Structure 1
Amino acid sequence: MPTSSASTTDAAKSNGGGVQSLERAFDLLERMADAGGEVGLSELSASSGLPLPTIHRLMRTLVACGYVRQQANRRYALGPRLIRLGESAARLLGTWARPYLARLVEETGETANMALLDGDEIVYVAQVPSKHSMRMFTEVGRRVLPHSTGVGKALLANTPDDEVRALLSRTGMPAATDRTITTPEGFLAALQDVRRDGYAVDDNEQEMGVRCLAVSVPNSPTAAAISISGPAGRVTEAATDKIVPVLQQVAVELSEALASSGPVAQI
């Protein structure tokens, strides 16, 4: 008996050997995320280049699976079922990053962290503590606002100014210390420094007596940054010159590991 060809279109393979309809569905989810989580079909069609009937069919499937929900205004929003996937992926990302953070601790002597931008907030997903008796500690899962952190500056450095201003308007810029940047202009100037220097600094801005150095993880599947933090008396300007190249090299190696199709290599 001949095999049915009813699903030939849906199961059409892309040039890379994958299933085209799956690739398209995930692409639409990412486009929705880039647009703030809620879009109309015409917007998706314009940005993806796919015809409306194709998008409608894919979205109907995603809605049925709970990964997308249709709003009362007939626009589509990312669905709650994605939360579980995202939380699990974030935990795994932190697990994969730990060997690289451990190397940072070995080479710099200071506590190493990994953080993601989740909506308008920074969330710490992994940490390896320093071996010094006086060391910094940030609880994994802790959420902070970006304007007072090195990782926040590293993550937002290449975001358009108008988007940064909109984020700061939503979150406000409360002062954690008397060194915290509390104006959009001051924060945008700090982001210019990050782009120029290739790393971000939190100089007593989140907590007095603590300095943090951070870099973004290039080409990460999701926006991520790694950092070291320690007492200002140890993380001095002279120490910065030695620490930053290590941070940048580890960020590149972590990026390559995350981009590989196989397991993340252990260092």
Structure 2
Amino acid sequence: MLAYLEEQQHNGVTIGRASSELGVHTETLRPYLEALILEGKVHFDESDHRYYLDPDAVPIRPTAADPDRIMAALAEYAAETRHDIALAVLAEDGLRLPFYVEPHEGPEPALLSGLRRDSAHATAAGHALLSNRPNWYLYRYFDRIGMPALTDRSPTTIEDLKPHLESGPRGIWSARGQYCEVGACIAVIAHESHYTHTRFALTTSVLDRDYHVRKHALRGRLLQTAGELQTVLGPLEL
């Protein structure tokens, strides 16, 4: 049942549809689903009467990624653009950057260095990783992590955040002045599978004053790096 719910990703499923697709009567499924809810593995959303696999209940699989190849791709980006770059993932304790490379011999500041774990609401990487999540997940995540006002442009409510979760053209997210007043960040989804813990965002930063001049070049190069990582990335053990 859990594997079936994983395949639904973030769409959830009604008990009627699950019964039909699994070939199991609803009266058999219902007590089983209720038991999984009590165990914290499944969430039932009363607003749409759908069952969802709880993302936090899925164990992170052993790493299938090659750290050296990931770092090589990020280092190549940093050397070419002279901007920092990171691979980001959501964990139970917030936003993490398991791989990070500083700017290469350039004047650009390392704006992603020391990124706060409670900054998903105020960063392009966090917006990408939280996109298409159901409302109940967003509320629970931020009840646990919080939504601090890092600048006066940081969204501090779910309703304020939602417009930022929509990607721009080509599946690119941008956040300006939300994490730090002088900085902007750009992100793309680098890898995603049926498993909820294997969504990774690739993100870079730029001074906000240079955003309009640099954004097209950085977006294109970020997408190129994401493409290079498609065959490299797999589940990471955090």
* Distance change (3 Å), C-alpha of 1:167 and 1:206: same
Pair 1:229 & 2:205 matched: yes
Report matched runs for 1:55-204 at 5 Å: 75=39, 86=60, 89=63, 94-119=67-92, 121-131=94-104, 132-136=106-110, 137-139=112-114, 143-192=117-166, 194-196=167-169, 198-204=171-177
- DSSP 3-state at the match of 2:229: helix
Match of 1:67 in 2: none
Distance in 2 separating the partners of 1:207 and 1:46: 49
Q: What is the count of residue pairs matched by the alignment?
A: 206
Amino acid at match of 1:202: A
Match of 1:216 in 2: 189
Structure 1 contact 217–252 (Cα < 8 Å) conserved = yes
Distance in 2 separating the partners of 1:94 and 1:229: 22
- DSSP 3-state at the match of 2:141: helix
- DSSP 3-state at the match of 1:107: helix
* Distance change (3 Å), C-alpha of 1:238 and 1:133: closer
Give TM-score, length-normalised by structure 2: 0.66
- DSSP 3-state at the match of 2:233: helix
Structure 2 contact 70–232 (Cα < 8 Å) conserved = no
Distance in 1 separating the partners of 2:213 and 2:114: 28
Amino acid at match of 1:257: V
Once the two structures are TM-superposed, the CA of residue 212 in structure 1 deviates from its matched residue by 1.0
Match of 2:215 in 1: 240
Once the two structures are TM-superposed, the CA of residue 119 in structure 1 deviates from its matched residue by 3.1
Distance in 2 separating the partners of 1:76 and 1:147: 25
> Percent identical across equivalent pairs?
25
Structure 2 contact 122–179 (Cα < 8 Å) conserved = yes
Structure 1 contact 147–153 (Cα < 8 Å) conserved = yes
Once the two structures are TM-superposed, the CA of residue 138 in structure 1 deviates from its matched residue by 1.8
Q: Deviation digits for residues 144-168 of structure 1, max 9, x if unmatched?
A: 3310111001112232345334433
Q: Deviation digits for residues 62-101 of structure 1, max 9, x if unmatched?
A: xxxxxxxx99x7x486xxxxxxx959739x5654421221
* Distance change (3 Å), C-alpha of 1:182 and 1:26: closer
Give TM-score, length-normalised by structure 1: 0.60
Distance in 1 separating the partners of 2:77 and 2:174: 16
Match of 1:54 in 2: none
* Distance change (3 Å), C-alpha of 1:236 and 1:133: closer
Distance in 1 separating the partners of 2:20 and 2:126: 28
Distance in 2 separating the partners of 1:104 and 1:232: 20
Of Structure 1 and Structure 2, the greater helix share is in 1
Distance in 1 separating the partners of 2:169 and 2:77: 23
Distance in 2 separating the partners of 1:188 and 1:169: 16
- After superposing the two structures, state which structure 1 stretch, 213-222 or 123-132, moved more: 213-222
Task: Name which one, 1 or 2, has greater alpha-carbon Rg.
Answer: 1
Distance in 1 separating the partners of 2:184 and 2:20: 42
Match of 2:231 in 1: 256
Structure 1: runs of 5 or more not aligned: 1-24, 35-41, 52-69, 78-84, 260-267
Once the two structures are TM-superposed, the CA of residue 236 in structure 1 deviates from its matched residue by 1.5
Once the two structures are TM-superposed, the CA of residue 29 in structure 1 deviates from its matched residue by 11
Structure 1 contact 111–130 (Cα < 8 Å) conserved = yes
Structure 2 contact 84–101 (Cα < 8 Å) conserved = yes
- DSSP 3-state at the match of 1:225: strand
Larger RCO (CA within 8 A; separation ≥ 6): 2
Distance in 1 separating the partners of 2:6 and 2:20: 11
